[in-house]
């Protein structure tokens, strides 16, 4: 399970009920989830979208994305969200219906007086001020009807814009708008918001920040908005006494949490210095018990339950998250907190193999969870065997290769199969033409056919023994006429049989 899911666990466990986006709401001035309307989820900056339809969003939730058809335009009449050439981030999810489709989120005085535009296409992201622009194409164009998150960040202090698709920086270099053009356009403010499409699209989770999100924050925003949190967290987590009692008695977890708390007490406000006294017993609350183990240095401050700085600090503390991960994994059924996820196998088709004495085939199979080992088994070891991820052909025929990954406390087991066909190599015989012969008693010829596989012996036969007979590779003339002389090599475990025929004429 990824650290950000565990970060969410920390927030949910300590606060009780909070969405994953809460850890990314610093500087968020407007958020449009388009859950059946175009209202601002965190404020009153609503957009009028009467008459518009709604579709499923990137998580498959119905009525959670604004559905726009060809050449639709929406304008807001909201107050100023961001003024001047201030820092900002514009992020939204988009599902384009055609390779020529685009979706635009713009801001400025009005459509005609000039505005800044973030445009999403299947090729990437485009940002323009109508005086200067940034084009950032992704290596592999997206498919139509495929959801993707497009993000544009801008730093007013450094005058740098950056473009991201699905949380990954795609602008080839940092973008420095020419002169003061971008600042001039940004000074037109971010009102009204303008949403436009061409050839149709769906838009979801439009977020507007008054700050320049870092690359890590953009990546985290993508992860949060592309995951269905309910598939990871049980609703009973805030009241799961078994889990919290186990946490409170886990010295590794307590040590990690204590380190997190004491690393910056002035920022978190968790520790209040008190008179040193005798260490008391572990308290009834998990965190109070942790303070007792830490020592008689103060008292627990209950405001930690709503201390967002502290929770954010915990959520980014790798030592704490590793300890929490181990605690969840070691509990029976993960304490009912983490529902096991399905993993998949990257198991490419195995080509037909031609057997040779030294033939090997490396068959690399990986699990989407990153778990190992991935076990491979051959159903017919007379055809092929598997050691680690190396296939060794043994004999011609067919077999089934089964791969499996056993899973763990967080991932379900999985298996998959692929057919394997092993063929013998094909050999050919080089059998030179036999010159026409004049009959004489006891006249012989030496036949010299060779195998491309260098196999022996090669046997010979005559279909007209009145003309010639063959012993080993010596042909003895018997009379005048015509005979077909056939060379044969029987093959072996690696190569198929082969024959070749030449015509003998005796005058």
Give 336-392 pLDDT, tens digit per residue: 565 678 899 999 999 999 988 888 999 999 999 889 899 999 999 999 999 988 999
Give the pLDDT band of residue 473 (cuts 50, 70, 90).
Answer: very high
Average pLDDT on 100-111 reads 71
**pLDDT of 233 over the 50 cut:** no
Using left for φ > 0, alpha for ψ between -120 and 50, and beta otherwise, residue 269 falls in left
Say if residues 326 and 252 touch (Cβ distance below 8 Å): yes
Say if residues 366 and 406 touch (Cβ distance below 8 Å): no
Average pLDDT on 56-71 reads 85
Is pLDDT larger for residue 108 or for residue 203? 203
Average pLDDT on 456-484 reads 95
What's the pTM value of the predicted model, to 2 decimals?
0.44
For 478, phi then psi, to 5°, come to: -115, -25
Q: Measured in Å, how far apart are the chain's first and last C-alpha atoms?
A: 87
Provide the pLDDT for residue 462. Answer: 95
β partners of residue 440:
none
Residue written as tokens 């004489």? Answer: 440
Q: Determine the Cα–Cα distance for residues 447 and 130; give it in Å rounded to an integer.
A: 86
Highest mean pLDDT range out of 49-63, 245-259, 299-313? Answer: 49-63
Residue written as tokens 């991201």? Answer: 164
Q: Determine the Cα–Cα distance for residues 68 and 323; give it in Å rounded to an integer.
A: 46
Nearest to 217 by CA among 124, 136, 153: 153
Average pLDDT on 279-285 reads 60
> Residue-wise over 237-258: b if at least 16 C-beta within 10 A, else e?
beebeebbebbbebeebbbbbb
Highest mean pLDDT range out of 265-279, 286-300, 302-316, 369-383? Answer: 369-383
Provide the pLDDT for residue 189. Answer: 47
Nearest to 34 by CA among 74, 5, 77: 74
| The two three-digit tokens of residue 407, written as one number | 């899973």
Q: Determine the Cα–Cα distance for residues 137 and 171; give it in Å rounded to an integer.
A: 7
From residue 361, give the alpha-carbon distance in Å to each of 129, 351, 355, 387, 464.
Answer: 55, 10, 11, 11, 48
| 304 preceded by a cis bond (ω within 30 of 0) | no
> Which segments of 170-305 are extended strands (E)?
193-198, 201-209, 271-273, 298-300
Provide the pLDDT for residue 129. Answer: 62
Q: What percent of the chain has pLDDT over 90?
A: 31
Provide the pLDDT for residue 337. Answer: 62
Highest mean pLDDT range out of 72-86, 225-239, 310-324, 466-480? Answer: 466-480
- Concatenating the DSSP letter of every residue in 403-470 gives EEE---SSB--EEEEEEEEEEPBPP-EE-PPPPPB---TT-EEE---EETT-----EEEES-TTTEEE
Highest mean pLDDT range out of 89-98, 242-251, 289-298? Answer: 89-98
Provide the pLDDT for residue 160. Answer: 79
**pLDDT of 271 over the 60 cut:** no
Q: Which helix (H) or strand (E) holds 117?
A: strand 115-120
Provide the pLDDT for residue 226. Answer: 81
Provide the pLDDT for residue 199. Answer: 78
**pLDDT of 173 over the 60 cut:** no
Instruction: Assign 68 to helix, strand or coil.
Output: strand
Provide the pLDDT for residue 466. Answer: 95
Say if residues 262 and 271 touch (Cβ distance below 8 Å): yes
Q: Which helix (H) or strand (E) holds 489?
A: strand 481-489
Q: Determine the Cα–Cα distance for residues 332 and 330; give it in Å rounded to an integer.
A: 7
Highest mean pLDDT range out of 52-56, 277-281, 441-445? Answer: 441-445
Residue-wise pLDDT for 175-220, tens only, equals 544 433 444 444 444 556 778 887 788 999 999 898 889 888 888 8
| The two three-digit tokens of residue 470, written as one number | 């063959």
Highest mean pLDDT range out of 34-48, 110-124, 185-199, 232-246? Answer: 34-48
By mean pLDDT, which of 275-279, 323-327, 429-433 is the weakest? 275-279
Provide the pLDDT for residue 91. Answer: 92
For 20, phi then psi, to 5°, come to: -65, -30
């Amino acid at each position: 399970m990824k650290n950000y899911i565990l970060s969410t666990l920390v927030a949910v466990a300590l606060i009780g009920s909070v969405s994953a986006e809460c850890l990314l709401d610093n500087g968020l001035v407007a958020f449009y989830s388009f859950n059946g309307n175009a209202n601002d989820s965190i404020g009153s900056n609503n957009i009028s979208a009467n008459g518009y339809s709604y579709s499923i969003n990137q998580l498959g939730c119905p009525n959670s994305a604004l559905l726009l058809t060809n050449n639709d335009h929406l304008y807001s009449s909201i107050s100023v969200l961001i003024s001047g050439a201030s820092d900002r981030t514009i992020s939204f999810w988009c599902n384009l219906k055609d390779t020529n489709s685009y979706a635009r989120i713009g801001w400025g005085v009005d459509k005609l007086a000039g505005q800044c535009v973030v445009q999403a296409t299947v090729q990437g992201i485009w940002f323009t001020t109508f005086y200067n622009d940034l084009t950032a194409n992704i290596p592999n164009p997206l498919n139509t009807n495929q959801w993707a998150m497009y993000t544009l960040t801008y730093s007013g202090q450094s005058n740098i814009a950056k473009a991201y698709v699905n949380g990954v920086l795609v602008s080839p270099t940092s973008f420095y708008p020419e002169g003061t053009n971008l600042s001039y356009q940004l000074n037109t403010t971010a009102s009204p918001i303008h949403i436009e499409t061409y050839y149709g699209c769906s838009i979801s989770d439009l977020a507007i920040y008054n700050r320049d999100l870092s690359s890590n924050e953009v990546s985290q925003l993508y992860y949060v908005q592309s995951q269905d949190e309910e598939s990871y967290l049980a609703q009973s987590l805030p009241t799961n006494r078994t889990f919290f009692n186990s946490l409170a008695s886990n010295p590794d977890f307590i040590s990690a949490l204590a380190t997190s708390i004491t690393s910056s007490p002035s920022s978190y406000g968790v520790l209040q210095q008190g008179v040193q006294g005798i260490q008391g017993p572990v308290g009834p609350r998990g965190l109070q018990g942790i303070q007792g183990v830490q020592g008689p240095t103060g008292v627990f401050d209950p405001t930690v339950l709503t201390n967002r700085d502290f929770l954010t600090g915990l959520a980014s503390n790798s030592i704490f998250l590793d300890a929490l991960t181990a605690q969840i994994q070691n509990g029976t059924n993960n304490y009912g907190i983490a529902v096991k996820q399905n993993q998949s196998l990257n198991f490419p088709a195995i080509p037909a193999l031609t057997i040779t004495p030294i033939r090997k085939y490396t068959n690399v199979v990986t699990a989407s969870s990153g778990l190992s080992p991935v076990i491979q088994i051959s159903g017919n070891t007379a055809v092929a065997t598997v050691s680690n991820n190396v296939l060794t052909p043994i004999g011609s025929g067919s077999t089934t290769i089964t791969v499996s990954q056993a899973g763990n406390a967080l991932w379900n087991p999985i298996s998959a199969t692929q057919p394997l066909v092993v063929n013998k190599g094909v050999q050919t015989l080089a059998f030179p033409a036999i010159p026409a012969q004049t009959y004489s008693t006891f006249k012989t010829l030496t036949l010299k056919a060779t195998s491309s596989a260098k196999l022996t012996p090669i046997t010979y036969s005559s279909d007209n023994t009145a003309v010639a007979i063959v012993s080993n590779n010596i042909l003895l003339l018997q009379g005048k006429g015509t005979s077909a002389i056939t060379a044969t090599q029987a093959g072996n475990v690696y190569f198929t049989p082969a024959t070749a025929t030449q015509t003998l004429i005796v005058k």
